[in-house]
Amino acid sequence: MISEKAVTEALSRGIITRVQAESLKSIEAELAASRLDAPDEEKLRFITGFGDVFVAIGLVLFLSAIRYFGNLLAEPYAGGWIAVAAASWLLAEFFTRRRRMALPSILLLLAFCGAIFLATTSVIAPHTETSMFDPSTGIAFIAGGALTALGALLHYARFHVPITIAAGAAGLVAIFAGILFAVGDGSLVILLQPLLFLCGVAIFAAAMRFDMVDPLRQTRRTDIAFWLHLLAAPLIVHSVLSRMMSSDTLTSTTAFAILAVFIVLASVAVLVNRRAILVAGLSYTGFAFGTLIREAGFSSIAAPLTLLALGALVLLLSAGWNFLRSRILRAVPEGWRTKLPPDLSPAT
């Protein structure tokens, strides 16, 4: 078995080309299918060792200081963020491109894209408005989102960090929100949640596009899909469930409706074998459980009972995940089933 580190080192030394490196990874993915004997647990490549954590602490401290001194040398706020963006790119040349450190690479990407967005918005709309529906705020979001998406594109072309695609998608969401802010007024606030919902669905579809070409989740595409799912989940869940909780007091009818939506979302999560959308909906499910518990006459111990119910739900889903996937996959057409992660329940 050729490790990914060996392939990366061979690529950096010019022994093989990038096309050959991807071919080797594809072959390894095919071979892995024959020895795949455990369900996919969405393994995350956050750290390659404790050195990642140590470097990450240093990056947070260093970039915080860079922002402070940048504000002293240039226009307040914008100057600091511009300095952070520049420093993040230069640091990525070493920690991402040469050292291939996972957690520092994620932090540097987030710092780079976040600094671009904040620098742009602080220049165009330096004073916070009382309402988001203001032309200057809208223009700031449009410009900030566009520059963030462009910066993410350039960053990915240089460093190939999987989370970069999600950062670029977040920039596009900011553009659409900015258009709504620029052309509307307070009366159009009702359109914000439907807009975010549509953006979430589009990002979810993009994530599935990456997932369905790598059902065994052996390549970089699965990492890209993970971050896209992580971005899409709160956009979808919050847009749907927050409207149900708009009133000050939840009723049992609303609580059951929230639980029904959660069951639908849970079914989708189990089907595609991604848990992000479940995590995003847990807080709303907790409020629903709490409402039902209080209305059942257990107000004095509503909080611990809610935690108990929510914890039990998470544990049951975890324990029965593969069993549920096996049953749900049977209802999926064969053509789609082959593009989803395989059914690895003991019964198969």
Contact yes or no for 343/321 (Cβ under 8 A): no
Mean pLDDT of the chain: 86
Model confidence at 37, pLDDT cuts 50, 70, 90, reads very low
Q: What percent of the chain has pLDDT over 90?
A: 53
Amino acid at site 137: T
| More confidently predicted of 338 and 282 | 282
Q: What is the pLDDT of residues 101-159, one digit of tens each?
A: 999 999 999 999 999 999 999 888 776 555 667 788 889 999 999 999 999 999 999 99
pLDDT recorded at residue 47: 74
Q: What is the pLDDT of residues 153-209, one digit of tens each?
A: 999 999 999 999 999 999 999 999 999 888 866 667 788 889 999 999 999 999 999
Compute CA distances 299 → 18, 284, 289, 291, whole Å. 61, 18, 12, 9
CB burial of residue 56 (10 Å; 0-12, 13-18, 19+): buried
pTM for the model stands at 0.84
Contact yes or no for 123/142 (Cβ under 8 A): no
